[in-house]
Chains A and B, each alone.
Chain A
Amino acid sequence: MITNNHTLESLKVLSFEEIKELIEELEVHKIELKMQNEQLMEAQIDLHNLKKRYFNLYKMAPLGYCTITKDDVGLIEEVNFFASNLFGLAHNKLIKLPITSFIYEEDQDIYYLFSKKISLHNTDEKHICELRIQNKNGTLFWVRLSATSYADNPLILLIMTDISELKAHEEELKFKINTEVAESRKKDLIMFQQARFASLGEMMANIAHQWRQPLSSLMMIIQGFQTKFELGKLTSEIVAKKVNDAIFLGNNMSKTLEDFQEFFKPTRDKEDFFLKACLKHAFYLSKYILDEKKIEVYIKVEDGVEINGFYNELSQVFLNIISNSKDALSSKDYKRVIEVTAVKSENTIKIDIVDNGGGIDEEILPHIFDPYYTTKYKNTGTGIGLYMSKQIIEKHMQGRVTCKNIFYNIGNQESEHCALFTITIPTNKGDQNAS
Chain B
Amino acid sequence: MPARDFNILNEFNLLYLEDDDSLLKQTSDVLEDFVKNVFGVKTSQEAIRILENESVDIIISDILLENENGIDFLRKLKQGNHVNIPTILTTAHTDTQYLLDVINLKVEKYIVKPINLKELLNTLHDIALVLIQEREVEKNSHIIKIISAITDSKQVEVIKCMMNNLNEKNELVAGYSDIMQKVSISKPTLIKLFKELAEKNILVKVAHKTYKFNP
Contacts and interface: CB of A to CB of B under 8 A. Distances in A.
B114 A215 contact: yes
A196 B29 CA distance: 43
A188 to B, nearest CB: 37
B142 interface: no
A213 interface: yes
Interface of A: 209, 212-221, 223-224, 226-228, 231, 233, 245, 249, 294
27 contacts: A209-B92, A212-B92, A213-B20, A213-B22, A213-B23, A213-B113, A214-B22, A216-B113, A216-B115, A217-B23, A217-B26, A219-B114, A219-B115, A220-B26, A220-B115, A220-B117, A223-B30, A224-B29, A224-B30, A226-B117, A227-B30, A227-B33, A227-B34, A228-B33, A231-B33, A245-B25, A294-B67
Nearest to B64: A292
B33 A233 contact: yes
Q: Is the interface of A mostly helix, strand, loop or mixed?
A: helix
Interface string B23-37: 101110110011000
A52 to B, nearest CB: 97
Given A212-B113, A215-B114, A245 B26 contact: yes
Given A223-B117, A227-B34, 8 more contacts: A216-B114, A218-B114, A220-B23, A220-B26, A224-B26, A224-B30, A224-B117, A245-B25
Q: Interface centre among B25, B26, B116, B117, by most A CB within 10 Å?
A: B26
A213 B20 CA distance: 7
A231 B92 CA distance: 29
A227 B113 CA distance: 19
A217 B22 contact: yes
Contacts of B92: 209, 212-213, 216
A220 B33 contact: no
A80 B67 CA distance: 95
Nearest to A233: B33
Interface pairs A-B: 3 shortest CB-CB: A223-B117, A216-B114, A224-B30
Contact of A216 (B20, B29, B34, B121): B20
A228 B26 CA distance: 12
A233 B67 CA distance: 37
Contacts of B26: 217, 220-221, 224, 245
Nearest to B19: A213
Contacts of A223: 30, 116-118
Given A216-B114, A219-B114, A245 B33 contact: no
Nearest to A220: B26
A408 to B, nearest CB: 26
Nearest to A224: B30
Contacts of A245: 22, 25-26
Nearest to A209: B92
